[in-house]
């Protein structure tokens, strides 16, 4: 294919893939799409290592990174995140929930350091974001930077553009997409509410064409609810120039999710990808588990505001992940989880999407002839 | 066009439209689609009048009706619905909310009879459903009956089929769609969470292709999030054989909504169509207003279970509708409300959808050629 987006990045197929896992990112790019690495929890040293690893595998092909580049650091970085500052009621609720579920506590000898390490990853400052950016700019195969927290500040946008990097932003609202356009970004990723993680409330079917019309001729990537070729065809019918997928890679062999987590995903239906405030305090879509369910039972405490629910859920996650407690384990995933049924590979996912996309276009062409008659 | 669905009903375009308003229903059918009348609140005499009115206008063309035909009448009809049985706290909450908003109370002289009349409409029994069905069967232009409460009981399905009437059901879940197929229905209407009123949680982008694959070769109509031709094209790309629209007619001149309600819809964005339990007790999508918002404020009482929240909201609705209190007025509407901007006509809506649908098919055909190269 050779559309606006393929030309913009010199890629073969307009399939973008987001992952926290470098193997997935590299493999998407190698298959002719463009992989984008989620970098939220990296130190600059770790990020340098990850990007070097990808560079070695993509043979000069382009890839991207997602950075947290907010205009302001209001909710993060102001106050030291500490487990001791959590309300006693909430700490007890989580502890008793996991105790009752037979999930072992963290060993006392390791608890402090495990928590500290996890909390340090949550601590985001402008300095830290700047250091990550410096790492990115030293890697010339990075051709796309995506912000998940609004348009990046002007000086950062300029630096990225000077390095020949295109800049995009996730958006769940038309008004935000218009801001991104006004701020000089190169593309927006319109993400429907059916996607994984923090999203807006508007569905892809409604959001995509609204955003496409609002920011035209700026290209729009469609995100949320795409895991197969029919959905890619729908995205193009709705005016998108490419697709942005996240959840669909979670079940591939390149994904570094634990096997038990993958098995939970393969067994899940679309309605098991629930909106929950249990992890960060803000509604985000994740796989339903005893942990997400506990917070919507009568008598459960209200989840804490950001970033404190993340601090609170940290120990719980460490506990159920280390114990491989399948009843409690969860991860962010979108509603297309219902179409993931067994292990596959990144390349197979892309081939399957493209094959069904091609078939659907043929069907649509026949329909077009019928309508014209 | 001449696909499965057009052949099944002898219609010119696979556009189905749901409305509580007979003018809208007749006009959709006259324009070559198939209008379906919502009948929830009719007496048999009223329904007879409405269907006669439609018959006189459609010149023998087919139309449909939505009936409440549950397998069991568990939540309704068992207990006499009465305002006096409501919890005092809830009654006070609603009264004070509207008092504080300056919405006049109902005149004491009329209050009792107004409430009685409204509550009688909520009182659904198997006998009543049977009487409505008898009315429907006397109207040979009715070619489609849609159940909004699961598959109808077998004996009703058989009677409908004997009269040459096709039977469909709304569904928001793959598992329900499979049941409808097993029960011998003729089609399903897969309705995404972005639709108006009571819906499931799965979005159209994810739900439609799942349902299409699950019930093939049974035809699927796509509902939820469709208001324009791009969305119709997306529905076909996702495997649907026709579209089912509800919200898009609300802003037409044929719609009997008050002008003030129409103006509220034209001013709304997609995210103003919120899921709320304020009207029936079950989450349903409606236009955000001071009434829907009040129920999610801290300290608000929990909405009552069905059918009691409907009883509770009855007086409120009578108050704010009679007073034309625009801050409080609301109606069921889907997220495509964001694309409704001014008064149009049913026929214009259909022409606009078809024109954009045709353009989109041409674009897709070009894309198909590109991919093939």
- Any A CB within 8 A of B292 CB: no
Nearest CA-CA distance, residue A121 and chain B, Å: 33
- Any B CB within 8 A of A362 CB: yes
Same domain as A228, residue A130: yes
Same domain as A207, residue A306: no
Segment A243-269 shows an average pLDDT of 98
Nearest CA-CA distance, residue B124 and chain A, Å: 30
Tell me the per-residue pLDDT of B162-219, one tens digit each, with 9 for 90 and over: 999 999 999 999 999 999 999 999 999 999 999 999 999 999 999 999 999 999 999 9
Sign of CA dihedral B7, B8, B12, B15: negative
Q: What is the pLDDT at residue B80?
A: 73
Nearest CA in chain B to A363: B237
Separation between Cα atoms, residue A163 and residue B300, nearest integer Å: 53
> Which of B220, B250, B280 is at the close of a domain?
B250
Query: Quick one: tokens of B334?
Result: 């889907």
Q: What is the pLDDT at residue B331?
A: 97
Question: 3-class SS at A103?
Answer: coil
Segment B124-150 shows an average pLDDT of 91
Same domain as B65, residue B31: yes
Residue B346 lies in a domain: no
- Any B CB within 8 A of A355 CB: no
> Which of B224, B250, B276 is at the close of a domain?
B250
Question: What is the extent of the structural domain holding A101?
Answer: 83-122+257-322
- DSSP secondary structure letter of residue B252: B
pLDDT tier, B361 (very low <50, low <70, confident <90, very high otherwise)? very high
Segment B337-345 shows an average pLDDT of 96
Segment A211-235 shows an average pLDDT of 98
Q: How many domains does chain A have?
A: 2
Same domain as A274, residue A214: no
> Which of A230, A251, A272 is at the close of a domain?
A251
Residue B327 lies in a domain: no
- Any B CB within 8 A of A178 CB: no
Query: Quick one: tokens of B84?
Result: 């006096």
Query: Quick one: tokens of A370?
Result: 């019928």
Q: What is the pLDDT at residue A369?
A: 82
Q: What value does the mean pLDDT of chain B take?
A: 94
Same domain as B130, residue B110: no
pLDDT tier, B373 (very low <50, low <70, confident <90, very high otherwise)? low
Query: Quick one: tokens of B195?
Result: 């639709």
Residue B341 lies in a domain: no
Residue at token pair 């009543």: B128
Same domain as B157, residue B222: yes
Contacts of B112 (CB under 8 A, 6+ apart): none
Query: Quick one: tokens of A254?
Result: 């390149």
Nearest CA-CA distance, residue A371 and chain B, Å: 5
Residue at token pair 């993958």: A262
Helical residues (DSSP H) of B238-345, grouped into ranges: 259-267, 290-294, 308-322
ipTM of this predicted complex?
0.95
Separation between Cα atoms, residue A192 and residue A285, nearest integer Å: 11
Tell me the per-residue pLDDT of B13-52, one tens digit each, with 9 for 90 and over: 999 999 999 999 999 999 999 999 999 889 999 999 999 9
What residues of chain B, 215 to 234, have a C-beta less than 8 Å from chain A? 224-226, 228, 230-231, 233-234
Same domain as A243, residue A106: no
Same domain as B168, residue B33: yes
Same domain as B130, residue B105: no
Q: What is the pLDDT at residue A370?
A: 79
Higher-confidence residue: A77 or A373? A373
Please name the helix (run of DSSP H) or strand (run of DSSP E) that holds residue A18, with its range, or none.
strand A15-19
Residue A49 lies in a domain: yes
Query: Quick one: tokens of A30?
Result: 């190698």
Residue A58 lies in a domain: yes
Separation between Cα atoms, residue B75 and residue B307, nearest integer Å: 7
Same domain as B275, residue B154: no
- Any B CB within 8 A of A205 CB: yes
Cβ–Cβ under 8 Å, residues A328 and A8: no
Same domain as A45, residue A140: yes
We report the CATH number of the domain holding residue A202 as 3.20.20.70
Residue A343 lies in a domain: no
Q: What is the pLDDT at residue A75?
A: 46
Residue B356 lies in a domain: no
- Any A CB within 8 A of B361 CB: yes
A11-15, B77-81, B309-313: segment of lowest average pLDDT: B77-81
- Any B CB within 8 A of A335 CB: yes
Residue B88 lies in a domain: yes
- Any B CB within 8 A of A365 CB: yes
Cβ–Cβ under 8 Å, residues B337 and A201: no
Nearest CA-CA distance, residue A6 and chain B, Å: 12
Segment A305-324 shows an average pLDDT of 94
The reply to whether residue A367 touches residue B236, judged by beta carbons under 8 angstroms, is: yes
Segment A226-230 shows an average pLDDT of 98
Separation between Cα atoms, residue B174 and residue A285, nearest integer Å: 20
pLDDT tier, B362 (very low <50, low <70, confident <90, very high otherwise)? very high
- DSSP secondary structure letter of residue A10: T
pLDDT tier, A79 (very low <50, low <70, confident <90, very high otherwise)? low
Phi, psi dihedrals of residue A242, rounded to the nearest 5° = -170, 170
The reply to whether residue A371 touches residue B361, judged by beta carbons under 8 angstroms, is: yes
Query: Which residues in chain A touch residue B268, judged by CB atoms under 8 angstroms apart?
Result: none
Is residue A44 predicted with pLDDT exceeding 50? yes
Is residue B79 predicted with pLDDT exceeding 90? no
Same domain as B34, residue B141: yes
């Amino acid at each position: 294919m050779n559309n606006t987006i393929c030309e913009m990045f010199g890629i073969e197929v307009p399939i973008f893939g987001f992952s926290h896992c470098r193997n997935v990112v590299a493999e998407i790019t190698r298959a002719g799409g463009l992989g984008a690495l989620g970098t939220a929890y990296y130190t600059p040293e770790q990020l340098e290592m990850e990007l070097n690893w990808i560079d070695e595998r993509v043979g000069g092909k382009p890839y991207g990174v997602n950075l947290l580049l907010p205009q302001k650091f209001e909710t993060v970085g102001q106050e030291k995140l500490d487990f001791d500052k959590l309300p006693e009621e909430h700490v007890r609720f989580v502890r008793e929930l996991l105790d009752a579920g037979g999930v072992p506590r963290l060993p006392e000898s390791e608890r402090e350091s495990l928590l500290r390490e996890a909390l340090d990853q949550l601590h985001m400052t402008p300095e830290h974001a700047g250091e990550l950016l410096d790492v990115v700019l030293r890697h010339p195969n990075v051709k796309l930077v995506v912000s998940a927290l609004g348009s990046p500040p002007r000086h950062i946008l300029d630096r990225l553009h000077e390095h020949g990097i295109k800049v995009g932003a996730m958006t769940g609202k038309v008004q935000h997409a218009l801001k991104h356009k006004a701020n000089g970004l190169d593309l927006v990723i319109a993400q429907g509410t059916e996607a994984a993680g923090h999203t807006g409330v508007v569905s892809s079917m409604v959001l995509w064409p609204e955003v496409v019309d609002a920011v035209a001729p700026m290209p729009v990537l469609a995100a949320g609810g795409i895991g197969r070729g029919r959905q890619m065809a729908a995205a193009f019918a709705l005016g998108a120039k490419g697709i942005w997928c996240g959840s669909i890679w979670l079940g591939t062999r390149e994904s570094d999710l634990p096997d038990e987590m993958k098995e939970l995903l393969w067994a899940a239906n679309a309605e098991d990808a629930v909106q929950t405030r249990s992890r960060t305090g803000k509604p985000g879509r994740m796989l339903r588990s005893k942990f997400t369910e506990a917070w919507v039972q009568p008598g459960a405490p209200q989840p804490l505001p950001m970033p404190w629910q993340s601090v609170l859920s940290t120990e719980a996650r460490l506990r159920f992940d280390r114990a491989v407690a399948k009843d409690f384990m969860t991860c962010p995933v979108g509603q297309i989880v219902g179409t993931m049924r067994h292990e596959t590979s990144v390349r197979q996912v892309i081939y399957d999407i493209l094959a069904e996309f091609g078939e659907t276009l043929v069907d649509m062409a026949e329909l077009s002839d019928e309508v014209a008659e």
